Structure 1
Amino acid sequence: MAADNDNFTDGLFVADAERNPLRIAAQAVRPDLPKRFYETAEVGESGHGFAVLLDGKSVKTPARRPLATPWRELSTALAAEWAGQGERLDPVTMPLTRLVNSCIDGVAERMDEVAADIVKYAGSDLVSYRAGEPEGLAAAQAEAWDPLLAFARDRLGAPLASTEGIVFVAQPPQVTEAVARAVRDYAGADAGAPFRLAALHAMTTLTGSCIIALAVALRELELDAAWAAAHVDEDHQMRAWGADEEALARRARRFDEMRAAARIATASPSA
């Protein structure tokens, strides 16, 4: 044993208030990642729900709160990330743990702010802005995004306006009100609410669309289809000009984050 796991995560995960690109980039390549000091990663019941236990001891978030969720299945997935670590602990390979840390230490204390940030995306949502040309791109956008506009209109009560080009299109007040209601209803008010909201926010920022995020959260759209819908333009460019390996690697890392968020978003009966 190399460390007491009351403080072993110090410096391993970036605290929510410290999330800046330079710190995160430096962290991703740091040569002094801490050595794995535990043998087993399991789940145990606690006063905070289902906690991750390393050699029987609870893990703490960067803000010293128990790493626990309301759902055994989700906490089991968290424990699997810890069990899957090699000789050294690498936070880059633990997207679910990073997101749950953010939820517990940040989102839980700023629910209204986080919800408002999600709703703000409705004003300039990805699915509202279409290309007039080339024809292939316009057709691909319509195929991927028209069903999402229908979902927003018919299930959420949010009839988003759409436009060609990048000229801003103002959405009617009904859209903002409906999306705000959908976010509020989805998040709920139980112990799982901060987790659902954190996941919804992560999916919104990763895709540029609160409509795509809500479609995943409400089980209207499968994860792979949602990710493809968020990358229609990028995929068209790659078909036309070829793939960029660095861009594909970044996209793969973002997909890991999207998959972690979707796992949380659909972990609860509320979804």
Structure 2
Amino acid sequence: MSTDAFLERFGTPGARQPDPVAAAQKAMRNALPKRFYESAGVLERDGLFHVALDGKTARTPARKPLAVSSRPVAEALAAEWQAQDQDIDPAVMPITRLVNSALDGVADQHEAVRAEIVRYAGSDALCYRAGEPDNLVERQRAIWDPIIAGTEAALGARFTLAEGVMFAEQPADALEAVARRVAELPAPLALAGAHNIMTLTGSAILALALADGRLDAEQTWAAAHLDEDYQIGIWGQDEEAAERRIIRRKEFDAAALLLKHG
């Protein structure tokens, strides 16, 4: 799931709430603006690291300063802006898109974002297992079981596993433990990163494992694509699917950067 779907399930049943992240993304889908600056860099001011275009702070679609508390994130943002050619194309600026979403959306909706991560934990992809073939079943056990065990140990709770796609309700104490850990994620940057990791992988468990350092980004990506890679090994991968995966990986890496340094 891309950042366009960020927070799309917010709100109570029957009463859809405004989606600030979708609005932030929509603002970047108009005709591409021309590059109007010579250089992009980072300026430290008032305890924040500002993305500076020819010495002036860049702004988000909501006109907030494009400024973050993390120098590594600011430097990555500036590199994206510096890499633009004649046009400024948000499609090739995944870190900028996600930071814009964080500053324009998550900053004012962080409790809803935290609640969404907990909801995902209630139907986490790692808890739903194949019944066959045997080699896929064994691969899921070998890769996913240690990840779940590590998360259970960290949270002091147990998750319920199920075979197939029938819904299996997770224990209330497990979701409460997830909520306590998610409450510790700094907003808005790290929280936005965690949410995007979750939506791209289908797993809050993987997002927390990455946040806690039990997995690195490569291990998280591989675990999330275990089933897909199994199918590719049998049937191969077409060109369009490969291109979509490259795009998702860039979004994933942007989210991992924010989760680590936000």
TM over 0.5: yes
Deviation at 1:46, TM superposition (A): 2.4
Secondary structure of 2:36's partner? Answer: coil
Of stretches 239-248 and 124-133 in structure 1, the one that deviates more from structure 2 is 239-248
Task: Please tell me whether the aligned partners of residues 74 and 263 of structure 1 are also in contact (alpha carbons under 8 angstroms).
Answer: yes
Secondary structure of 1:53's partner? Answer: strand
Matched with 1:129 is 128
Superposed, which structure 2 residues align to 1:44-55 within 5 Å? 44-47=43-46, 49-55=48-54
Superposed, which structure 2 residues align to 1:13-162 within 5 Å? 16-18=21-23, 27=29, 32-47=31-46, 49-162=48-161
Secondary structure of 2:77's partner? Answer: helix
Secondary structure of 1:155's partner? Answer: helix
Deviation at 1:150, TM superposition (A): 0.7
Query: Does 1:171 find its partner at 2:170?
Result: yes
Secondary structure of 2:246's partner? Answer: helix
Matched with 1:7 is none
Matched with 1:180 is 179
Matched with 1:255 is 249
Matched with 1:212 is 206
Over the residues paired in the alignment, what is the CA RMSD in angstroms?
1.8
Q: Structure 1 residues 96 and 200, CA, compared in 2 at 3 Å: closer, same or farther?
A: same
Task: Please tell me whether the aligned partners of residues 48 and 68 of structure 1 are also in contact (alpha carbons under 8 angstroms).
Answer: no
Take 1:40 and 1:263, find their aligned partners in 2: how far apart are those partners? 23
CA deviations on 1:88-109 (whole Å, 9 max, x unpaired) are: 2111110000000000000000
Take 2:196 and 2:222, find their aligned partners in 1: how far apart are those partners? 16
Query: Does 1:244 find its partner at 2:249?
Result: no
Matched with 2:223 is 229
CA deviations on 1:161-181 (whole Å, 9 max, x unpaired) are: 101111111111111001001
Letter in 2 for 1:107: V
Deviation at 1:19, TM superposition (A): 6.4
Task: Please tell me whether the aligned partners of residues 163 and 169 of structure 1 are also in contact (alpha carbons under 8 angstroms).
Answer: yes
Structure 1, unpaired ranges of 5+: 1-14
Percent of residue pairs bearing the same amino acid type:
49
Structure 2, unpaired ranges of 5+: 1-19
Task: Please tell me whether the aligned partners of residues 130 and 164 of structure 1 are also in contact (alpha carbons under 8 angstroms).
Answer: yes
Matched with 1:10 is none
Q: TM-score, normalised by structure 1?
A: 0.85
Deviation at 1:48, TM superposition (A): 6.4
| Alignment length (residue pairs) | 243
CA deviations on 1:20-40 (whole Å, 9 max, x unpaired) are: 8xx69x94xx7x522212111
